[in-house]
Amino acid sequence: MYVAVKGGERAIDNAHAWLAEERRGDTSVAELSLVQIREQLALAVNRVMAEGSLFDPDLAALAIKQSRGDLIEAIFLIRAYRTTLPRFGYTLPVDTGAMACDRRISATFKDAPGGQVLGPTFDYTHRLLDFKLAAEGEAAEAPTSAPRTEPTPHITEFLQGEDIIEREPMSEAQPGDLTREPMAFPADRSVRLQSLTRGDEGFILGMAYSTQRGYARNHAFVGELRIGTVAVEMEIPELGFAIKIGEVELTECETVNQFKGSKTVPPQFTRGYGLVFGQSERKSIAMALVDRALRWKELGEDNLGAAAQDEEFVLSHSDNIQATGFLEHIKLPHYVDFQSELELVRKLRREAAEAVEQMAAKEAAE
Amino acid sequence: MSDYNFAYLDEQTKRMIRRAILKGLAVPGYQVPFASREMPMPYGWGTGGVQVSAATLTPEDTFKVIDQGADDTTNAVSIRKFFERTAGVATTEETEKASVIQTRHRIPEAELTEDQILVYQVPIPEPLRFLEPRETETRKMHALQEYGLMHVKLYEDISQHGAIATSYAYPVKVSDRYVMDPSPIPKFDNPKMEMAAIQLFGAGREQRIYAVPPYTSVVSLDFEDYPFEASKADHPCDLCAAEDSYLDEVILDDAGNRMFVCSDTDYCRSRREAGHVGRLGEEAAA
């Protein structure tokens, strides 16, 4: 007999209880602490901060723990939390030229003022599983040296001195904020960059990769990649001047791209820009490539019909919280709509069958 | 209550949403962009409806949530609980007693009154989206009332299938101006949209709000020789014998036996309480 589909409420409560138990796993194994996640899964924490648009390593660690390591779920937790926070104001633009760099490399010059500083990179490791880690050995201490005291100049400044790279236009305009204004197209570069820096790493990576493989190719040199901490300053109205309110870790990538020149502009290099919270190297390079691809119109280039050039396509689909929500909503009941489709298909089939019968009868009569 | 503001959103955000709602009511069927917030439930799970409800609810309201017409479907339960927790409003399953009703995929069978607000959850607010994927283009088409593409689509349906092959989210024209997506309700519900209650539509992920004021004309698109037809399963409800309600088909056993029951659970309950008994109603009550 038909049992009414009652009991949604109890089913949900029980599912949540089971989830909590699964999250904890085997209780004979020590529980993860937030500091362990923050210190030892720092790159996961960075990704959650970057795509969650909230710089707070402790909250990001909590989100990772709560989400059982599902980073998109963790990003969602952070986004939902940050939306409830009051907005006191805006900081001054951060000065990445004054960054205390942990890593700073250029692919365009063998050496440059400030030097090539590899920093803590996977780049030249051999990807061999290190079974020593399974034995929980202490890491050997890394050698140290005195940090640079003077600021590290941007590589593009040297090209700019020669006037061989486009100049970024100076502007006092308020940058857009897609968390406060609905996205509208065409979007200006500030909104595009905001969207890209919050966007899903995998999606941005795929888009950037497609430009490298020939879909709107804009051959990119990594002019510079730097990772480090910068001061965050805010102007306090009562004081009348800016004070430092904290520090954030950032990854900045500036690409140097080719450009043939146009009727009004002599041949010169152009730029792509990536800036991401935390040590997020892959993301910032990918962001710079996609930023550059999206600039075809302002640089007077051809629209090659490539996905990475299509701002509406890229910006509408880069947010993994929107994407995962809509994708997964098809798990929800849709039986009302399915029922109406069922009726329609049955009706169309009935009519088709009748038509065939009539045709056969007519032929038999002839 | 909890540590969050009444109905979760802060007052500034609610004000922004109310402005969008008022604009929507002033221009029936027009999709008003709004700065949708991340909500603690996923996009695509009713965040637009939830934001509209949050901006609409007052502490005196009585709130009802349905999904597929039913109050006890999991997502309806989840959203009802959310407002019980963050707004502390009274909730009900009875359509008549609710002042605000949030719905996904259905319009209640009982006629709504001037004292009620119906809030729809909308996945894709743009009725032209599957004909033209670009927002920049579809906004232009609405501005110019360029709806030929939609009529061509409906015509192609007829030429291929002998009928308009859209059974839900059937496009309507509101107040003789904007073509509007009624959200994925079955087309059976379309004629009900000319009603006394205020109808608000929220699409969170797509950042759009639109509205139909009371007593506004809502016409389902059709052709003179192929008029719109609201359809449902050709059965009475097996529990309450209703002939006029939209039905769900339930598979009963391995032999493929089926029964048909009202999708609007409150409507079915109230009819059974009033003594109506369907084919399997006695058995179900036992």
pLDDT at A1: 41
Percent of chain A topping pLDDT 70: 98
> Could you give the 3-state DSSP secondary structure of residue A269?
strand
Question: Are A244 and A233 contacting, i.e. CB atoms less than 8 angstroms apart?
Answer: yes
B14, B68, B181, best to mutate vs chain A, most A CBs in 10 Å? B68
**Which ipTM was obtained for this model?**
0.85
pTM for the model stands at 0.90
Determine how many CB atoms are found less than 10 A away from the CB of residue A6: 12
The whole-chain average pLDDT of chain A stands at 92
Does A1 touch chain B if contact means CB atoms closer than 8 Å?
Answer: yes
**In which element (H, E) is residue A19 found?**
helix A8-24
B41-60 burial string, b = 16+ CB within 10 Å, else e? bbbbbbbbbbbbbbbbbeee
- CA dist., res. A229 & res. A231, Å (int): 7
Percent of chain A topping pLDDT 90: 71
B32: left (phi over 0), alpha (psi -120 to 50) or beta: beta
Considering only the C-alpha atoms of chain A, give the largest distance between any 2 of them, rounded to a whole number of Å: 102
Question: Are B166 and B187 contacting, i.e. CB atoms less than 8 angstroms apart?
Answer: yes
- CA dist., res. A139 & res. A143, Å (int): 12
Which structure tokens are listed for B185? 């309700």
pLDDT at B284: 66
- CA dist., res. A286 & res. A274, Å (int): 8
Does A305 touch chain B if contact means CB atoms closer than 8 Å?
Answer: no
Percent of chain B topping pLDDT 90: 87
- CA dist., res. B233 & res. B147, Å (int): 31
pLDDT higher than 80, residue A5:
no
Q: What is the pLDDT of residues A206-248, one digit of tens each?
A: 999 999 999 998 889 999 999 999 999 999 888 889 999 999 9
pLDDT higher than 90, residue A263:
no
**In which element (H, E) is residue A161 found?**
helix A155-161
Enumerate the residues of chain B whose CB falls inside 8 A of the CB of residue A316. Answer: 135
Does A339 touch chain B if contact means CB atoms closer than 8 Å?
Answer: yes
Q: Contact A326/B169, CB-based, under 8 Å? A: no
Does A326 touch chain B if contact means CB atoms closer than 8 Å?
Answer: yes
- CA dist., res. A147 & res. B181, Å (int): 61
Closest CA to B81 of A20, A83, A330, A8: A8
The domain spans of chain A are 2-82, 96-120+146-325, 337-366
User: Out of B48, B69, B204, B240, which one is annotated catalytic?
Assistant: B240
Question: Are B204 and B51 contacting, i.e. CB atoms less than 8 angstroms apart?
Answer: yes
Q: What is the pLDDT of residues A58-109, one digit of tens each?
A: 999 999 999 999 999 999 999 999 988 888 888 999 999 999 999 999 999 9
C-alpha dihedral (A348, A354, A359, A363), degrees to nearest 10: 160
Which structure tokens are listed for A253? 């990538």
pLDDT higher than 50, residue A4:
no
> Could you give the 3-state DSSP secondary structure of residue B104?
strand
Enumerate the residues of chain A whose CB falls inside 8 A of the CB of residue B161. Answer: 348
Question: Are A224 and A216 contacting, i.e. CB atoms less than 8 angstroms apart?
Answer: no
Pick the more confident residue, B40 or A139: B40
Interacting residues of A338 by C-beta distance below 8 A, sequence separation 6+: none
Q: What is the pLDDT of residues A304-321, one digit of tens each?
A: 999 999 999 999 999 999
Q: What is the mean pLDDT of residues A186-195?
A: 95
Which structure tokens are listed for A201? 């790493």
The whole-chain average pLDDT of chain B stands at 94
